[in-house]
A and B are shown apart, each in its own frame.
Chain A
Amino acid sequence: MATESEQLESLVNRRYEHGFVTDIATDSLPPGLDENVVRAISARKNEPEWLLEWRLQAYRQWLEMDEPEWAHVHYPKIDYDAISYYSAPKSDEDRPKSLDEVDPKLLETYDKLGIPLHERARLAGVAVDAVFDSVSVTTTFKEKLSEAGVIFCSFSEAVQDHPDLVRKYLGSVVPRRDNFFAALNSAVFSDGSFVYIPKGVRCPMELSTYFRINAANTGQFERTLVVADEGSYVSYLEGCTAPMRDENQLHAAVVELVALDDAEIKYSTVQNWYPGDEQGRGGIYNFVTKRGDCRGANSKISWTQVETGSAITWKYPSCLLRGENSVGEFYSVAVTNNLQQADTGTKMIHIGRNTRSTIVSKGISAGRAQQSYRGLVRVMPQAAGARNHTQCDSLLIGKDCGAHTFPYMEIKHPSAKVEHEATTSKISANQLFYCRQRGISEEDAVNMIVNGFCKEVFKELPMEFAVEAQALLNVSLEGAVG
């Protein structure tokens, strides 16, 4: 199986390299970043003056910031002047004309993951109208949502159609100057999703980026804003399990969630960007800022993530627990194989009284991968009765990988109850031999042990997603043992 996964990776890698040598289409901006580039992006999107101003301020703040170096990851210095900050979708001539032109190994992976036929074409970047299969689905579901008063559209559309909502909430959770990558995103964000759930509405379906119109090209600086008004509920799914290729190596997304009184947001992510080849070449750098604001009393924000992709992941989905009795949750499975690096975790900031948070982090390392859990639990002086439970488990496969845990706690109220549990375990040769003696292949045994390890997190995912995530983990760890 090792050779199969090598072949797969070399294939993905080849496609990836190919992506770098595309001609710059007429509608793309030349590499480099200055105020004119920011203005040009805003102009192309026909944005109102206030948003241009907002971007420009972000750009000026970014200029004064330094790239963070505290994370436990290593990569060559990024040349920000070598990146093109606006590129139109690739022209059809550059793309495969049909699935026949796509490497069979990639298709095999889709097959293993059970990706529906009409989705495979989109994922593989095929230019034909195979994607149209999903249009009817999209239409029915758009009707259903608008009946409920739910707004779910691309960020650019929201700027045009719902400017007041965007203006009210944009940057209210992740300020422009929050960090280096958030500032960069604020200056040059390309597109993303916007969700608004009105008061008292329970969103009638899971919202998935999968079905969003124009989802195919959101670019490398994605911006997502989800607002749940009083007493509303929404479950949002981001990403998909199929390996996603992209020409852009640097991804710096920002996700902001706002939950008002009694509202609940459940945000689930499966991230599977190309991780690079076995030497670690060509993978995506995923530097993401995700934060939820439990602004109202009794509100709840729950992050669930399954991270298997990217060469480097730098990501800490966090909760600001402002409202009294508000609840923050973070459930995470992060898998790193070969030379992948991940520094991921969460921050729970307890501000309101009687706020509660739960952190369950499961890290799996194989190959020569390095993974760090970095978590902060901060209880502010006014947060009487705050409670946190953190559980942080690492599983190592093989002897060349590493797992590191950096838990930070800042407790400023004497009534706080904060618990931290951590374990590190290894899949032992004896466990594998035991399973094999029962007729179970080594690979199935690894999958069984890994899935058992992740069970607590998978059960937080929507049913269908959980099944996909399990299959994804199995594929991600193919060839990890032996």
Chain B
Amino acid sequence: MLEIKNLKARVAGNDILHGLSLAVNAGEVHAIMGPNGSGKSTLAQVIAGHEDYEVTHGSVTFKGQNLFDLEPEERAREGLFLGFQYPVEIPGVNNAYLLKTALNARRAHQGLDEIDAFEFLKTAREKMAALGMDPKFLNRGVNEGFSGGEKKRNEILQMAMLEPELAILDETDSGLDIDALKAVAQGVNALRSPDRAIVLVTHYQRLLDYIEPDFVHVLSEGRIARSGDKTLAHELEEKGYDWIREAANA
């Protein structure tokens, strides 16, 4: 699904990723953990194609294609989804309208007809109910005046509607209360399938109590310092990130 080889990247003149390699297969859930500044969000932004991030070395393929040959919107239509750490507000643009436009862009790419308006509303309302979202959010401006938790739920709603093949969730758990965290986890778990892969970028182990990862990777100074199964997350919780840093430097 996703294959990253020796990736180096920089932003605003600072080298952040120093040769990162990672392979994610269909059906897998990966958690990428690490201290602040280790390059977690940079990795997510580079994969999504944010223009502020410059790739200086290495390769990334997505479903066998060179990811860097694709524009951000093409990556999205191919089934790559990024749940943003800080979802942006777009005042005046109706949330349902954005959702439907996005969905139809993906469907057009897949050779499907535009979604029927009734079918769209029905599906959206069902998914919102599952996420504990008031259907009124459909008719508000995109993220306009949403609380932090509401913005994150809205990200998960978009993901649920778009049914991506690869979802990268960047610190989706940060700032969530326990109810929101559970709702988000439920949304992610509902998407788990043998055809899809999920990458959770997170600072804390807490999210992994609700979404059980197949693999856990610890990022340190722009590289994967250690990989393991879910027990690695618990170990980190106990010993802290310094333990990894010391082990990496040893």
A: residues with CB less than 8 A from B are 425, 428-431, 433-442, 444, 448-449, 452-453, 455
Return B54 CB to nearest CB of chain A, in Å.
15
Contact between A425 and B73, CB atoms less than 8 A apart? no
Tell me the bound Cα distance from A436 to B88 in angstroms: 12
Tell me the bound Cα distance from A433 to B51 in angstroms: 9
Stretch binding the partner chain, chosen from B4-12, B18-26, B99-107, B173-181: B99-107
Contact between A436 and B92, CB atoms less than 8 A apart? no
With a CB–CB cut-off of 8 A, which chain A residues contact B102? 435, 438-440
**Which of A428, A429, A434 is the most central at the interface, judged by chain B CB atoms within 10 Å of its CB?**
A434
Contact between A439 and B141, CB atoms less than 8 A apart? no
* Contacting residue for B158 out of A438, A449, A452, CB 8 A: A438
- Given the known inter-chain contacts A437-B48, A440-B102, please indicate yes or no for A449 contacting B72, CB distance below 8 A: no
Contact between A434 and B101, CB atoms less than 8 A apart? no
Contact between B73 and A453, CB atoms less than 8 A apart? no
B130 within 8 A of A: no
Contact between B73 and A439, CB atoms less than 8 A apart? yes
Contact between B87 and A448, CB atoms less than 8 A apart? no
- Given the known inter-chain contacts A444-B101, A448-B98, please indicate yes or no for A434 contacting B106, CB distance below 8 A: no
Contact between B93 and A449, CB atoms less than 8 A apart? yes
Contact between B76 and A448, CB atoms less than 8 A apart? no
Q: Mark B52-93, 1 if CB is under 8 A from A, else 0.
A: 000000000000000000011101110001101001101111
Return A1 CB to nearest CB of chain B, in Å.
13
Return A339 CB to nearest CB of chain B, in Å.
27
In the complex, chain B residues 175-234 whose Cβ is within 8 Å of any chain A Cβ: none
* Contacting residue for B77 out of A435, A439, A452, A453, CB 8 A: A439
User: Looking across the interface, which residue of chain B has its beta carbon closest to that of A456?
Assistant: B92
Contact between A436 and B91, CB atoms less than 8 A apart? no
B122 within 8 A of A: no
Contact between A437 and B92, CB atoms less than 8 A apart? no
Chain A contact residues: helix, strand, loop or mixed: helix
With a CB–CB cut-off of 8 A, which chain B residues contact A442? 73
* Contacting residue for B98 out of A430, A435, A441, A453, CB 8 A: A435
B166 within 8 A of A: no
With a CB–CB cut-off of 8 A, which chain A residues contact B48? 433, 437
User: Looking across the interface, which residue of chain B has its beta carbon closest to that of A453?
Assistant: B92
Provide 6 A-B residue pairs closer than 8 Å at the C-beta atoms, listed in order of the A residue: A436-B76, A437-B76, A438-B102, A438-B105, A439-B105, A452-B93
Contact between B88 and A428, CB atoms less than 8 A apart? yes
Contact between A449 and B84, CB atoms less than 8 A apart? no
User: Looking across the interface, which residue of chain A has its beta carbon closest to that of B109?
Assistant: A439
Return B65 CB to nearest CB of chain A, in Å.
16
* Contacting residue for B88 out of A425, A431, A453, CB 8 A: A431
Contact between B72 and A436, CB atoms less than 8 A apart? yes
With a CB–CB cut-off of 8 A, which chain A residues contact B38? none
* Contacting residue for A452 out of B81, B84, B91, B109, CB 8 A: B91
With a CB–CB cut-off of 8 A, which chain A residues contact B92? 449, 452-453, 455
Tell me the bound Cα distance from A441 to B109 in angstroms: 12
Tell me the bound Cα distance from A442 to B105 in angstroms: 12
Contact between A452 and B76, CB atoms less than 8 A apart? no
Return B15 CB to nearest CB of chain A, in Å.
22
Contact between B73 and A452, CB atoms less than 8 A apart? no
Tell me the bound Cα distance from A435 to B87 in angstroms: 11
User: Looking across the interface, which residue of chain B has its beta carbon closest to that of A425?
Assistant: B91
Return B114 CB to nearest CB of chain A, in Å.
13
Q: Mark B29-59, 1 if CB is under 8 A from A, else 0.
A: 0000000000000000000111100000000
Tell me the bound Cα distance from A439 to B106 in angstroms: 6
* Contacting residue for B82 out of A430, A437, A440, CB 8 A: A437
Contact between A452 and B94, CB atoms less than 8 A apart? yes
Return A90 CB to nearest CB of chain B, in Å.
44
- Given the known inter-chain contacts A437-B82, A438-B98, please indicate yes or no for A448 contacting B73, CB distance below 8 A: no
With a CB–CB cut-off of 8 A, which chain A residues contact B71? 436
Contact between B101 and A440, CB atoms less than 8 A apart? yes
**Which of A431, A438, A440, A442 is the most central at the interface, judged by chain B CB atoms within 10 Å of its CB?**
A438
Contact between A438 and B76, CB atoms less than 8 A apart? yes
Tell me the bound Cα distance from A440 to B73 in angstroms: 6
Contact between A433 and B77, CB atoms less than 8 A apart? no
* Contacting residue for B72 out of A425, A428, A430, A437, CB 8 A: A437
Contact between B76 and A439, CB atoms less than 8 A apart? yes
Tell me the bound Cα distance from A436 to B45 in angstroms: 13
Tell me the bound Cα distance from A176 to B106 in angstroms: 59
B243 within 8 A of A: no
**Which of A425, A428, A439, A452 is the most central at the interface, judged by chain B CB atoms within 10 Å of its CB?**
A439
With a CB–CB cut-off of 8 A, which chain B residues contact A453? 92
Contact between B93 and A433, CB atoms less than 8 A apart? no
Tell me the bound Cα distance from A429 to B51 in angstroms: 9
With a CB–CB cut-off of 8 A, which chain B residues contact A436? 49, 71-73, 76
Tell me the bound Cα distance from A425 to B87 in angstroms: 18
